[in-house]
């Protein structure tokens, strides 16, 4: 996928590097040469230009791009103008970073459906990890629901899913299980964690399993605290 990222601060730079590592062709844009220099040896193309200058986009392969990400974080006005320019290219799916409620409202009025809040999302995840200190990771569904990865309690070892009555007791659903699969190569034991697939009532839990749970934040918190 060809992706244009406008704004190469901490968030945009990290995004550019991660997308490149995942095989995407990234074109990075920033008006500061020092930001461009940080990435010039690490992503496909990086350009120093004023993203609010519509004519400057002629140097970009924007007609061939699939995705435009506005990652500008320090200037709402610049972000909005950049988003408006990209919106003219009908081939582009646009993802825009928002830094305030007013910014959200303007982007919504512009018809931008994919709006991200990196700082809020990072703060949310950190809050949940601190609050649910036995949880390994969290994925936010909405303000009230999450998917969480938690270690299976030792008391679950050898028990079937249906015998645990997770929905009745905790109002959480077990989506799947991550399990260490042991392999032997040349008499050496290796283990790799894998998703076991769909869980049924007859699935037997093992020591060391990681449970992927869905539920309300309060339900997951109840489950985690009960197993602490």
DSSP state letters, 40-74: TTTSSEEEE--TT-GGGGGGS-TTT-SEEEE---S
Total count of residues recorded for the chain: 228
pTM above 0.85, yes or no: no
d(CA 133, CA 224): 8
Quick one: CA torsion of 157, 161, 164, 167, rounded to 10 degrees? 140
Tell me the C-alpha distance between 79 and 52, whole Å.
8
pLDDT for the residue 62: 87
d(CA 47, CA 32): 10
Tokens describing residue 108: 């919504």
State residue 40's pLDDT score: 87
| Structural domains present in the chain | 2-116 (3.40.50.720), 121-227 (3.30.70.1450)
pLDDT tens digits along 197-224 = 889 999 999 988 999 999 998 888 888 8
At 166-201, the pLDDT tens digits run: 999 999 999 999 988 765 444 444 556 788 888 999
* Per-residue confidence (pLDDT) for residue 128, from 0 to 100: 60
**Residue ranges of the chain whose pLDDT lies below 70:** 122-135, 182-192, 228
User: Which residues are 216's β-sheet partners?
Assistant: 145
């Amino acid at each position: 996928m060809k992706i244009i990222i406008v704004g190469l601060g901490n968030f945009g730079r990290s995004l550019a590097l991660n997308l490149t590592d995942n095989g995407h062709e990234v074109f990075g844009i920033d008006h500061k040469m020092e930001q461009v220099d940080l990435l010039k040896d690490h992503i496909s193309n990086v350009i120093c230009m004023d993203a609010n200058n519509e004519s400057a986009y002629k140097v970009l392969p924007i007609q061939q791009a699939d995705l435009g990400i506005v990652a500008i974080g320090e200037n709402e006005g610049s972000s909005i103008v950049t988003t408006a320019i990209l919106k003219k290219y009908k081939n582009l799916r646009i993802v825009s970073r928002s830094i305030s409620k007013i910014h959200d409202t303007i982007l919504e009025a512009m018809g931008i459906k994919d709006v991200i809040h990196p700082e809020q999302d990072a703060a949310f995840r950190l809050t949940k990890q601190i609050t649910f200190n036995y949880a390994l990771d969290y994925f936010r569904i909405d303000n009230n629901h999450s998917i969480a990865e938690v270690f299976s309690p030792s008391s679950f070892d050898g028990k079937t899913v249906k015998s645990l009555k997770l929905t009745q007791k905790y109002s959480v659903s077990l989506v799947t299980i991550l399990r260490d699969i042991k392999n032997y190569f040349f008499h050496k034991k290796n283990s790799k964690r894998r998703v076991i697939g769909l869980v049924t009532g007859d699935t037997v839990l093992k020591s060391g399993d990681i449970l992927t749970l869905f539920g309300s934040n309060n339900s997951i918190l109840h489950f985690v605290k009960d197993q602490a």
